[in-house]
Structure 1
């Protein structure tokens, strides 16, 4: 079971544009776990996008809009894999609506927290990226397929960029984020690294 549980501008954020591996020839079938992971990830990236859109609408702070656009790219990358393997897309076209009941509950909880203040919304952003990185690491361990691994690596790279961005904004406001899903050592390693283009050439 997956673990679910101010500044008005950001000086610089690198966003990932996730490309897929265009393998030719007959498609190998996915394992049940790979299918579950892709469907979950499609909605998890939607959750990130929808929460950030909610926060941008409420506070008009540019980081939320910028990262929401990046999350849309992440959603599109996962959708490409779903289409490639003939898997039904679980994502609703309505903002804040999720087929996965745990993600629905998480969305409700995180938007309620985000509504408290812009600082809480930034904490929520860091929490979502923390969770994404942790889940994607699990998904990487569940597959050996190069096209899935390519997308997972790029999404993880993007989530690390986003985590650094949210952490930076919290630091500016005197708030220290403590990771809830990844280890503190892993978190500190991510913070020590530079932003990446995440597969962009």
Structure 2
């Protein structure tokens, strides 16, 4: 799994290079706001999975939290490439977007009851991420952004499968 993600990152980097990754895009306000939201949404996933990985010692949470860090880094690169300012707390579980802060608090509370419930939380996060990435894809024409979003979408689909596998064991 890690090799697939690493290979995808290398391919994405090469493809992005051919499409002017260093060039500045002029995203719409809507697209800029979506990028700002997505970087914090990736942080939310990482923070939740880190919390549950520490609490339950579960391999899926520990592996996927590393992937979510890479996703955050990709979104940060996208924001910077597009000259979009953003705020991102370096503190776990702290978000500038009030909706994401409330969502984080609720998801932690839900998953604290059992490892099974934590897997359900993981499933919800990935389904939400997939939906938001599909919206992002519809709202950009920038080839590099499209490639990044598609890569993130494939990874989220893979994460969703991992959580569904865990849930099927109960």
Q: What is aligned with 1:88?
A: 85
* 1:116 and 2:113 matched: yes
- How far apart are the structure 2 equivalents of 1:26 and 1:68? 30
Structure 1 contact 96–104 (Cα < 8 Å) conserved: yes
TM-score, normalised with respect to structure 2:
0.89
1:26 offset after TM fit, Å? 5.0
* 1:148 and 2:145 matched: yes
25-34 or 115-124: bigger deviation: 25-34
- How far apart are the structure 2 equivalents of 1:25 and 1:164? 33
1:110 offset after TM fit, Å? 0.1
1:86 offset after TM fit, Å? 2.0
Q: Provide the aligned C-alpha RMSD in A.
A: 1.7
Instruction: After superposition, give the CA deviation of every residue in 1:9-68 in whole Å (9 maximum; x if it has no partner).
Output: xxx677634435230675231111110111000000000000000101111111101000
Q: What is aligned with 1:188?
A: none
DSSP 3-state at the match of 1:64: helix
Structure 2 contact 130–157 (Cα < 8 Å) conserved: yes
| Uncovered stretches (5+) of structure 2, i.e. residues with no partner | none
Instruction: After superposition, give the CA deviation of every residue in 1:89-141 in whole Å (9 maximum; x if it has no partner).
Output: 32111100001000000000000011100000000001100000011101111
Give runs of ≥4 in structure 1 deviating > 3 Å. Answer: 12-15, 17-20
| Uncovered stretches (5+) of structure 1, i.e. residues with no partner | 1-11, 174-201
- How far apart are the structure 2 equivalents of 1:29 and 1:85? 6
1:88 offset after TM fit, Å? 2.0
Structure 1 contact 13–161 (Cα < 8 Å) conserved: no
Query: Which protein, 1 or 2, shows the higher relative CO under an 8 Å CA cutoff with sep ≥ 6?
Result: 1
TM-score, normalised with respect to structure 1:
0.76
- How far apart are the structure 2 equivalents of 1:44 and 1:14? 24
Q: What is aligned with 1:59?
A: 56
1:87 offset after TM fit, Å? 1.9
* 1:71 and 2:68 matched: yes
- How far apart are the structure 2 equivalents of 1:45 and 1:26? 24
Structure 1 contact 16–157 (Cα < 8 Å) conserved: no
- How far apart are the structure 2 equivalents of 1:50 and 1:153? 22
Structure 2 contact 23–81 (Cα < 8 Å) conserved: no
Higher helix share: 2
